[in-house]
Every structure is written in structure tokens, then in C-alpha cells.
Copies of this chain bind each other. A is one copy, B any other.
Amino acid sequence: MTEIEKTLEAHQVRPTAMRILIYKYMAEKEVAVALTDIESAFSKSDRSTLYRTLKTFEENGIAHQIDDGTGISKYALCESGCNCELDQDLHLHFHCSNCDETVCLTAHKIPHINLPYGYLAENANLVVKGICEKCSSE
């Protein structure tokens, strides 16, 4: 049993062929992926299957959804030990306006925000837009 299979099973997700492939695909990419990316990469498979795979990953804490402001949902694998569901791994995301790629900056947590009286924070999303490392060094 491979590492990936173990990871999936550890999150109560059956390690089907497709799921293993998608997990591998996401692990190899260093950027967040959209459904359309996966669609192009696995054109033989149906969009709904790929869609549901991402949702399954998300619901079981294998990946987290990223709203980078482009209007297109992206997904990235969670780091081992991350607790997205519990809103505890609130790292920020960076979206490059040049290459349109989005990355997790897992080392950069969202700072605590003081809210006006009466407001109760449960979650937060911080997206910084600009030029990514790759694009700025060209």
C-alpha cells in the first residue's frame, strides 16, 4: 500500500484509482488547482467524478478549497496535521496577476483582527494579489 493510499484511508476516503491519480496530480503541482485543470489533465474521466473527488477531499480534510477572488474555486492539498475544518490553519493565499496561479503561503497565518463590538469572527480569508516569485524573477 502506497503512501497516498494510506493518506486517503486515514481520512476515511476509499483509495480508488481516480482518487489516487488526482491526489498525485495535486501533490506534484506546487500551485492550487481548479476543476478545469483536473479536467484537462484527466480528459477521459467525467467532470462530475472529478468534481465529486475534490468535494470528497475537501469534506474529509484532505484538501481545502481556496477562493482567490478570480471567481473560480481552487483546491490544494492540506499539509499533514492541518485542521482546515476547524478553521485553525488560516494561512493566506497569494494570487499572481501575471500567471494567474494561486499558491498557499502556509507559513503565513492570517493575523488576528479586532472587530467592532458585537461582531463574532468564525473564519477569515486573506488573499494577497500581486506578482509571484516566479514571475518577478523573469
Contacts and interface: CB of A to CB of B under 8 A. Distances in A.
Interface of A: 67, 69, 71, 92, 94, 97, 105, 107-108, 110-111, 113-134, 136-137
Given A69-B67, A126-B126, A120 B113 contact: no
Contacts of A69: 67, 125
A121 B113 contact: no
A122 B127 contact: no
B97 A119 contact: no
B116 A105 contact: yes
B133 A117 contact: yes
18 contacts: A69-B125, A71-B71, A105-B116, A108-B113, A110-B126, A113-B128, A115-B130, A117-B133, A118-B133, A120-B131, A120-B136, A122-B130, A123-B128, A123-B130, A124-B126, A125-B125, A125-B126, A125-B129
B137 A119 contact: no
Contact of A111 (B97, B111, B120, B131): B111
Contacts of A123: 97, 128-130
Query: Which 8 A-B residue pairings sit nearest by Cβ, starting from the closest?
Result: A118-B133, A122-B130, A120-B131, A123-B129, A121-B130, A120-B130, A126-B126, A124-B128
